[in-house]
């Protein structure tokens, strides 16, 4: 039964006349507040450190599953941040005196005596004074040092011990991802080296006077884009793909913009060389050789002959020039210049002839420039091919299986793309072989062999070069099918014999290749 | 200290109006006109001593009902009315009668029956002969007010749920306003004024359950439980012997009124008030803090009178526990008797056999 507790009240009532001021209450609460603050700082600090260590252990665990070079720093940072944040929060949110009163009430089971006394600390009524005195008496029975323990709980110690052991183990045991990280670092170094080489190449091309500014700008953009792609490349495959794409762009630039001019020049020169007129033959020879001096001399001879020719001879000469202009239709500038020259020859006007010859010289000069551009593009393409080779060779030593496989796939795709391009050119009757940048691809196609692929329509041809050391467009070379099929058959037989294919299926495949071999 | 009673009938008055006509001016107006004064140390000392004596007197006679006695004291010292509920024979009436014995107060018992009329409680105006020399007959007939049994300090409304609602409502004004209106005259009731009503939860046939409005006027509803075996042994020893125990007077009405004032002066911290408010609001199914059980089974929550009841009785409890401040434990302890009759269950709650005690327990645990 709950009974009235006169003993408690009896202790308070005789002292009712004694002062129990708010200052006494504050003075009594201060040591408790200090102790509670220390306890909070220690407790929160321990909890913050434990949280930080748990987080750090998780980070270290993750770094063992995925390559993460800076995981250790993050782990140390997490542990330190947890501790510092907890300490800062503990100090920032340290209990006020009112809060201390409530906490001490709760911990010492004082039945809200202190918090009520704190709230009515400035009241001087009898009950408020008695209440304050009662609170002070009850508080005086306890000491902060005895009542507030700074020792952590046993459960906390157990958890902390487990976490610390796990953290130390994760720190000390060898990380299987270290080798991967080293490979990545080596790869990054190679990439940086290649980027530096590309940068040097950009500078070189930028200072080449033989290349037109527009062409230099386009090449520079391609190389700049390549640099960015290489910087963002996560692995060797991506780097190789970026290099192959840049090569393809360079090749495309070369093909689309300059090939027509060169072809037109060649066609016009051929037509002129077939002429019976010696001056036109010399002109055609000069155009074919791209010799500007010879061209100027030939044009001068032609101009000097005009005045001596009869109108009929001039008309014949003009007709031959017109035919050459027609042959050079793919280069509008050259075609127009030859056409103007033909008209001037037909008219016999010396001033028109001089203007037309000058026009032909300019057009021939542009064609020569295009040829020079082709040289710059070839230079860039060669450099990129060297970069690819360099990456592939370095990759062989570090991550042979994975890197070579990726490279092979990338090169295979590139070679295929170029082959399709060559086929398209062939359909127009002027097919040029696309260049494949393949180099030791993953399957057994990369043995440096060339397979002749004839143009389907027209006279063009394309070549898919597997294993070439550069990206220069090369004319297709014919390899006999019998030689190719023998090599493939031998490889197929070896592959089948070394695999786990059942015997009956092996015989089937052997028979298939034997059948193919026998067809030629 | 208990002592033998030689005249038990002098205290108990069953449906007996006061013998003398009460003059309106003679009625004690103390509570309404006195200004509140700051209690002194002597007042507090007197409170503690008197309460201790009173509790001792009651526990010496009422065996095995310590909790009921404590809750009855809480209501008495808080100046509120009490509804005692329990099966017959548990000593409800004896408890109230013993309390009246221990206090030098006017006690009246009203046995509520279906044929009880409001006038039987509040009194009525009757024609009486009054001496008058000017009249040839030497007297004249005048109307005078005959006060009912409600004009007492402690009124025992026994089996209050057996009277008709009309009669029950006769208590309403007296309990809340502490005045009685008869005819065109409103008469104040004596101070202190306590209504201690009892009801039997079993025999519900032919009864009229108290309406919620009237239930709300009781400060506490105290459940009288069946005593334990050990207490039953003590009951045998104290009640079937040759000597009848009787409580001795330990306080007067004036002392009791003063004790009520002392209890009201106990300080309550803001966070305790906030806690009491949260408890009260949690009894309302529409409140966001209300527990799931309250939302499912409560139709109406407790009224603000419930909050007043909790704080008032918690103050008294604090003093009885030897403290000068109200604690959270005080509020939790008084929440059950203060709120149980103010929580109205819905159909699901009634059908599932949920009791207000279950809900208050959940609220106290969750809030």
ipTM for the complex?
0.77
Asked if pLDDT for residue B8 goes beyond 60, the answer is: no
Helix, strand and coil percent figures for chain B, each rounded to 5: 45, 15, 40
Distances, alpha carbon A116 to alpha carbons A99, A113, A125, B270, B271, in Å: 12, 5, 14, 8, 9
A309 Rama class: left (phi>0) / alpha (psi -120 to 50) / beta: beta
Distances, alpha carbon A478 to alpha carbons A453, A456, A469, in Å: 8, 15, 19
- Return d(Cα B113, Cα B121) in angstroms, integer: 12
Strongest mean pLDDT among A381-385, B185-189, B223-227, B310-314: B310-314
- Return d(Cα A406, Cα A401) in angstroms, integer: 9
pLDDT of residue A447: 41
Q: What is the tens place of the pLDDT at every residue in B146-161? A: 889 999 999 999 888 8
Which residue from A minimizes the CA distance to B52?
A4
A299 CB contacts (<8 Å, ≥6 apart)? A283, A357, A360, A361
Residue (of A408, A437, A402, A413) closest to A184 by Cα position = A402
Q: How confident is the model at residue B363 (pLDDT cuts 50, 70, 90)?
A: very high
Say whether A13 and B329 touch across the interface (CB within 8 A).
no
- Return d(Cα B206, Cα B211) in angstroms, integer: 15
- Shortest distance between the Cα of B38 and any Cα of chain A, in A, equals 7
- Shortest distance between the Cα of A108 and any Cα of chain B, in A, equals 13
Peptide bond preceding B192 in cis form (omega within 30 of 0): yes
- Return d(Cα B318, Cα A4) in angstroms, integer: 10
Label the pairing between strands B179-182 and A461-465: unpaired
Residue (of B96, B76, B112) closest to B214 by Cα position = B112
H/E run at residue B127: strand B123-131
| Distance, C-alpha B178 to centroid of its chain | 13
Q: What is the tens place of the pLDDT at every residue in B29-69? A: 434 444 457 888 888 888 888 998 898 888 888 888 889 99
pLDDT of residue B69: 92
pLDDT of residue A210: 66
Contact B104/B93 with Cβ under 8 angstroms? Answer: no
- Return d(Cα A59, Cα A69) in angstroms, integer: 11
Say whether B269 and A13 touch across the interface (CB within 8 A).
no
Label the pairing between strands B103-104 and B139-147: unpaired
Distances, alpha carbon A416 to alpha carbons A369, A411, A434, B205, in Å: 31, 8, 9, 101
Say whether A2 and B321 touch across the interface (CB within 8 A).
yes
Residue (of A285, A310, A316) closest to A299 by Cα position = A285
A245 CB contacts (<8 Å, ≥6 apart)? A226, A229
Say whether B323 and A134 touch across the interface (CB within 8 A).
yes
Q: Which residues of chain A have a CB within 8 Å of the CB of B272?
A: 112, 116
With 0-12 / 13-18 / 19 or more C-beta atoms within 10 angstroms meaning exposed / middle / buried, residue A443 is exposed
Asked if pLDDT for residue B338 goes beyond 60, the answer is: yes
pLDDT of residue B234: 80
Q: Which residues of chain B have a CB within 8 Å of the CB of A16?
A: 41
Residue B252, helix vs strand vs coil? strand
- Shortest distance between the Cα of A152 and any Cα of chain B, in A, equals 28
Q: Which residue has the higher pLDDT, B335 or A503?
A: B335
Contact A112/B328 with Cβ under 8 angstroms? Answer: yes
Residue (of A150, A144, A157) closest to A39 by Cα position = A150
- Shortest distance between the Cα of A24 and any Cα of chain B, in A, equals 18
Residue to substitute from B51, B64, B324, interface A, most A β-carbons within 10 A: B324
Mean pLDDT of chain B: 83
Contact A28/B74 with Cβ under 8 angstroms? Answer: no
pLDDT of residue A130: 87
pLDDT of residue A4: 59
Asked if pLDDT for residue B349 goes beyond 50, the answer is: yes
Mark the ranges of chain A whose per-residue pLDDT is less than 70. Answer: 1-19, 210-211, 254-259, 367-376, 391-480, 482, 516-520
Q: Which residues of chain B have a CB within 8 Å of the CB of A131?
A: 267, 323-325
């Amino acid at each position: 039964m709950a009974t009235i507790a006169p003993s408690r009240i009896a202790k308070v009532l005789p002292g009712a006349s004694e002062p129990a001021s708010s200052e006494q209450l504050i003075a009594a609460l201060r040591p408790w507040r200090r102790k509670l603050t220390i306890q909070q700082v220690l407790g929160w600090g321990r909890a913050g450190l434990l949280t930080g260590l748990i987080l750090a252990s998780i980070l270290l665990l993750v770094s063992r599953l995925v390559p993460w070079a800076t995981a250790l720093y993050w782990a140390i940072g997490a542990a330190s941040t947890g501790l510092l944040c907890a300490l800062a929060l503990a100090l920032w949110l340290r209990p006020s005196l009112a809060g201390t009163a409530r906490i001490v009430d709760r911990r010492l089971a004082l039945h809200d005596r202190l918090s009520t006394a704190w709230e009515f600390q400035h009241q001087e009524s009898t009950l408020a004074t008695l209440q304050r005195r009662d609170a002070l008496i009850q508080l005086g029975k306890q000491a902060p040092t005895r009542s507030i323990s700074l020792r952590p709980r046993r459960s906390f110690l157990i958890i902390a011990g487990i976490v610390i052991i796990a953290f130390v183990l994760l720190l000390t045991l060898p990380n299987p991802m270290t080798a991967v990280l080293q490979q990545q670092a080596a790869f990054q170094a190679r990439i940086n080296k290649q980027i530096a080489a590309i940068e040097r190449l950009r500078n070189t091309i930028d200072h080449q006077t033989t290349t037109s500014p527009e062409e230099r700008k386009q090449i520079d953009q391609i190389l700049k884009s390549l640099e960015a792609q290489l910087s963002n490349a996560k692995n060797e495959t991506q780097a190789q793909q970026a290099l192959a794409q840049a090569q393809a762009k360079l090749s495309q630039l070369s093909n689309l913009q300059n090939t027509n001019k060169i072809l037109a020049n060649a066609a016009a020169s051929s037509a002129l060389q077939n002429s019976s007129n010696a001056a036109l033959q010399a002109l055609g020879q000069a155009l074919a050789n791209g010799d500007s001096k010879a061209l100027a001399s030939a044009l001068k001879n032609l101009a000097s002959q005009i005045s001596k020719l009869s109108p009929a001879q001039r008309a014949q000469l003009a007709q031959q020039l017109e035919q050459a202009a027609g042959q050079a239709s793919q280069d509008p500038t050259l075609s127009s210049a030859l056409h103007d020259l033909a008209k001037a020859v037909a008219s016999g006007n010396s001033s028109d002839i001089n203007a037309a010859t000058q026009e032909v010289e300019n057009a021939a000069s542009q064609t020569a420039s295009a040829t020079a551009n082709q040289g710059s593009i070839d230079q860039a393409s060669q450099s990129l091919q060297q970069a690819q080779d360099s990456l592939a060779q370095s990759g062989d030593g570090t991550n042979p299986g994975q890197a070579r496989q990726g490279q092979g796939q990338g090169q295979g795709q590139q070679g295929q793309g170029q082959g399709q391009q060559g086929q398209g050119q062939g359909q127009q009757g002027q097919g040029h072989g696309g260049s494949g940048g393949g180099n030791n691809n993953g399957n057994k196609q990369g043995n440096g062999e060339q397979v002749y692929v004839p143009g389907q329509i027209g006279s063009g041809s394309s070549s898919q070069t597997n294993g070439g050391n550069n990206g220069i467009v090369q004319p297709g070379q014919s390899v006999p099918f019998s030689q190719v099929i023998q090599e493939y058959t031998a490889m197929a037989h070896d592959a089948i014999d070394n695999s786990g294919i059942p015997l009956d299926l092996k015989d089937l495949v052997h028979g298939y290749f034997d059948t193919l071999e026998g067809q030629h | 200290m208990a002592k033998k009673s030689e005249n038990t009938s002098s205290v108990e008055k069953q449906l007996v109006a006061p013998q003398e006509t009460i003059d309106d001016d003679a009625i004690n107006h103390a509570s309404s006109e006195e200004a509140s004064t700051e209690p002194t140390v002597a007042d507090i000392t007197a409170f503690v001593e008197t309460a201790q004596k009173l509790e001792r007197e009651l526990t010496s006679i009422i065996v095995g009902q310590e909790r009921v006695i404590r809750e009855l004291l809480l209501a008495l010292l808080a100046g509120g009315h009490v509804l005692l509920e329990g099966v017959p024979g548990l000593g409800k009436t004896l408890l109230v009668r013993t309390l009246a014995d221990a206090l030098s107060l006017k006690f009246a018992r009203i046995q509520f029956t279906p044929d009880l009329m409001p006038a039987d409680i509040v009194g009525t105006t009757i024609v009486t002969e009054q001496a008058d020399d000017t009249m040839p007959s030497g007297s004249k007939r005048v109307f005078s007010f005959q006060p009912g049994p409600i004009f007492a300090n402690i009124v025992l409304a026994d089996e209050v749920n057996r009277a008709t609602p009309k009669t029950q409502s006769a208590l309403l004004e007296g309990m809340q306003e502490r005045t009685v209106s008869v005819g065109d005259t409103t008469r104040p009731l004596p101070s202190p004024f306590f209504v201690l009503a009892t009801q039997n939860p079993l025999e519900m046939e032919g009864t009229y359950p108290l309406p919620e409005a009237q239930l709300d006027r009781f400060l506490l509803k105290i459940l009288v439980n069946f005593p334990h075996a050990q207490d039953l042994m003590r009951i045998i020893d104290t009640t079937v012997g040759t000597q009848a125990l009787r409580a001795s007077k330990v306080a007067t009405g004036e002392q009791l009124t003063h004790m009520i004032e002392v209890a009201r002066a106990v300080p309550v911290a803001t966070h305790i008030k906030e806690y009491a408010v949260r408890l009260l609001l949690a009894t309302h199914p529409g409140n966001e803090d209300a527990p799931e059980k309250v939302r499912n089974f409560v139709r109406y929550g407790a009224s603000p009178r419930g909050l007043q009841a909790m704080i008032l009785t918690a103050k008294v409890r604090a003093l009885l526990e030897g403290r000068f401040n109200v604690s959270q434990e005080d509020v939790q302890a008084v929440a059950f008797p203060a709120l149980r009759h103010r929580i109205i269950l819905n159909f699901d709650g009634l059908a599932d056999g949920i009791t207000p005690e279950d809900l208050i327990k959940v609220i106290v645990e969750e809030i």
